[in-house]
Amino acid sequence: MRKLLHRKVSHGEIDVNFQGIFRIFVEPVEIFADIYLGDSKEKLKLLADNSVDLIVTSPPYADQRKNTYGGIHPHNYVDWFLPISAQLLRVLKPSGTFILNIKEKVVNGERSTYVMELILAMRKQGWLWTEEFIWHKKNSYPGKWPNRFRDSWERLLQFNKDKKFNMYQEEVMVPMGDWAKSRLKKLSDTDKIRDNSKVGSGFGKNISNWLDRDMAYPTNVLHLATECNNKNHSAAFPEELPEWFIKLFTKEEDVVLDPFMGSGTTLKVASRMRRNSIGIDNVPEYYNLVRNQLEPIELYLLEPEEKYETAQSYRRIGIRRE
C-alpha cells in the first residue's frame, strides 16, 4: 500500500490554517510525502536509482522492540541489515548522505560488537564511513549497574557513496559563546599568526581569525533531550535530531527518506522544512498514525501580520492511493 500526499500553491495565494492565522505563499512549491506499508527491503525496490538526497533512520536495535518488530539477534543483525543497506546505496544520490542512528547493547556484561561488524560490512558493500556524530542525551534516565554507568549517548553514523557530497555547514552554525569575549579581548603576537601545535601533531591555529565573528561551526556532538512526549512509539527520537541533519545535508524540495519511519518524526520535520519525504514501516498502526499526521500539514512562509486580510479558508492537499 502506498499513500501520496501532494501540496501545491501558487505565488501570492493566501491560505488560512486551522487556528485562523492568515499566511501567504510567496512562491510556487509542490511537496510530497510518500509512505509505504511493508518490509523496507521490498518496498525500497520501488524507488528509483539515485533519487534520494538524505536518509535519516533508526532501525530496530538488536534484540529490542520485540513487541513491534520481532527483534533481531545480534549475531544475525549484519545479515539482516545488509540487503536493506544495499537498496539504500542504490536509491541514494552520489551527492547524498545516510545517517544511521544505532547503539550496541550489553550482552552478558559486555558490549556487543554488531555495530562495528555492520560498519565493516557496509564498507565492503561500497559505503564510505565518512563521520560519526554523537547524540548526547541530556535527560537520560538515571540508573545503577554493577560494572558500568548509565547510557547517555548514541551513535549517529554518517555514510556516503562519494567523497564529494552536499553539505551546507553554514546552516548549523552556533553562537560563538561568552568565551570569545575574554579570549579575544587581548591577543598576543602568537595569536595573530598560525601557531603550530607544540606536540608535533601538525595542527595549528590563528586565534585572530575569529575576531568579529558571531557564529562558529559546531562539533560532532549533538546535545539533545530524548523524546518525553507520548508519540505512540517505543523509541521516537526528538524532532531536533532529523531537523539538524536536514539543515546540514539538504535544501528545500530535496528528498528525505526514513526506511523505518515509526511514528513519522523524520517525515513530519521534512514536510515542515519544505522537503519531500518518503517513509516505510511494516507496522499498520504506525502507517496509519503517520498518514493521519501528515494530512493536515500545510507548508507556508510566515509574513508580517499586517499584510493579511480576510480570505476564505481552503486546503490544498490531494491524496492518491495505489
Among residues 221, 275, 314, 230, which one has the least CA distance to residue 54? 275
Same domain membership, residue 270 and residue 200:
no
Question: What mean pLDDT value characterizes the chain?
Answer: 77
Q: For 158-204, write each residue's pLDDT tens digit.
A: 999 999 999 999 999 988 766 555 656 566 656 555 555 555 555 55
Same domain membership, residue 11 and residue 40:
yes
* Whole-number pLDDT of residue 45: 97
Higher pLDDT, 284 or 144: 284
Is the pLDDT score of 84 beyond 60? yes
Instruction: Tell me the three cell numbers of residue 75.
Output: 549475531
| Per-residue pLDDT band at 293 (split at 50, 70, 90) | confident
Instruction: Tell me the three cell numbers of residue 147.
Output: 560494572
Same domain membership, residue 234 and residue 140:
yes
Q: For 295-311, write each residue's pLDDT tens digit.
A: 654 444 434 444 333 33
Mean pLDDT of 82-108: 94
* Per-residue H/E/C for 89-129: HHHEEEEEEEEEEECCCEECCEECCHHHHHHHHHHHHCCEE
* Enclosing domain of residue 232: 2-173+217-321
- Give every CB contact of residue 151 below 8 A, 6+ residues apart in sequence: 103, 137, 140
Same domain membership, residue 154 and residue 182:
no
The CATH number of the domain holding residue 239 is 3.40.50.150
Distance CA 276, CA 266 (A): 11
Same domain membership, residue 193 and residue 77:
no
Question: For residues 261 and 286, is the Cβ–Cβ distance under 8 A?
Answer: yes
Same domain membership, residue 125 and residue 10:
yes
Same domain membership, residue 243 and residue 188:
no
Is the pLDDT score of 314 beyond 90? no
Distance CA 273, CA 270 (A): 5
Same domain membership, residue 58 and residue 192:
no
User: Positive or negative CA dihedral for 82, 88, 230, 3?
Assistant: negative
Same domain membership, residue 258 and residue 313:
yes
* Whole-number pLDDT of residue 169: 96
Q: Which of 26-40, 154-168, 257-271, 286-300 has the lowest mean pLDDT?
A: 286-300
Same domain membership, residue 125 and residue 9:
yes
Q: For 99-149, write each residue's pLDDT tens digit.
A: 999 988 777 888 889 999 999 999 999 999 999 999 998 877 777 777 888
Same domain membership, residue 83 and residue 72:
yes
Is the pLDDT score of 14 beyond 80? no
* Whole-number pLDDT of residue 179: 59
* Count of domains forming the chain: 2
Same domain membership, residue 275 and residue 193:
no
